[in-house]
Each structure stands twice: as C-alpha cells, then as structure tokens.
C-alpha cells in the first residue's frame, strides 16, 4: 500500500529555509514506528535534511528521488536506491517488492504534490501530524492543497502538543 506521512503546521508549512524548523521527539518516534520495516520514498532535498548519523534510515529501504545523479557518493549505502522520479520508484516497488510491504512517501513538497496529483500513483492512506508551531510563510515550503472530497478521516487525536489525523481514500 502506498501511504503518505507528513508533519506540518496548521498553515501547511513543512520546512523553512530548506530545513524542518521543529523537533518533537514524540513525532520522530512515531515516524520511526510507523515506517520501520517499510520502504520510505523521499526527494533529494529531504534526504539532505537528514543528519548524516541517521543516514540511511535504518530498518527501512530508502528510496531517494533526484533528477540529476551527479553526486552518487552520498547515496552509496546498501539500503538506498536512487531513482529519477516518483513513477520510476513506484514501478520498482510494484515489480520488485512484496505487495504487503507498505511504501511511505515522506516528502518533500514536490514529491507530495506529484504523489497526490499523479493518477498513476495510488496513494491510499494519509498520515498527518499537525505541530503547534507558527512559522512565517515568506521562506516556508508548503504541503500541497488536498482535495478533501477524495479522503475519509479514519482517526483524529491529540498526543501532547501534536494533532494526529489519518485518512483513507474515499
């Protein structure tokens, strides 16, 4: 199943000046728990925000999307696969990975947008964590608008300062 996971502000901010402007241990632990044993798909910019000592994300197959493969060295890990785009990566998942293995799309904005808009990519689950931070929008990267008519909420709860919502395709 293709799933999408994101942490953002109520204004849909997912990054500020190219970095994640918050750090909630609870969110990071939850992300790890949700994605462990799965495939995670991210753009090169998202890969770059992960501290080197966490690369690659352990216990998961890491897929990095990059239009240019100029610096292959930074992806030279046994559990990292490099693809030119999301369709190519999803095709690999479909043809090479067990059907029961979840694939989590974890950003950034361009990858989220393509995953939600491309009819060839069937995202069936959204996992949204809303953080309480207020980030100025001027240098922010925003999560794309969602057509909520396509989604049914399956859970909504607070965990400390975080609001966690899950949705399935209608």
Rg (C-alpha) for the chain, rounded Å, is 15
Can you list the positions of beta strands (E) in the chain? Answer: 2-8, 13-16, 39-43, 61-65, 80-83, 103-105, 123-130, 140-142, 151-159, 162-169
pLDDT in tens, 35-55: 999 999 999 999 988 998 999
pLDDT in tens, 92-143: 999 999 999 999 999 999 999 999 999 999 999 999 999 999 999 999 999 9
Residue in the block written with tokens 């000046």? 17
Domains of the chain: 2-169 (3.40.430.10)
């Amino acid at each position: 199943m293709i799933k999408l996971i994101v942490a953002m502000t109520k204004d849909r901010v997912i990054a500020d000046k190219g970095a994640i402007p918050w750090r909630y241990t609870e969110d990071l632990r939850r992300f790890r728990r949700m994605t462990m044993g799965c495939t995670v798909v991210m753009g090169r910019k998202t890969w770059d925000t992960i501290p080197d000592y966490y690369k690659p994300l352990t216990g998961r197959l890491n897929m990095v999307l990059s239009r240019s493969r100029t610096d292959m060295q930074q992806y030279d890990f046994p559990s990292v696969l490099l693809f030119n785009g999301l369709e190519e990566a999803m095709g690999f998942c479909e043809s090479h990975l067990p059907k029961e293995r979840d694939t989590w799309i974890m950003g950034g904005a361009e990858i989220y947008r393509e995953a939600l808009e491309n009819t060839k990519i069937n995202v069936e689950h959204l996992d949204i964590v809303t953080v309480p931070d207020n980030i100025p929008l001027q240098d922010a990267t925003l999560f794309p608008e969602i057509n909520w008519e396509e989604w049914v909420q399956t859970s909504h709860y607070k965990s400390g300062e975080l609001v966690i919502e899950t949705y399935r395709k209608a």
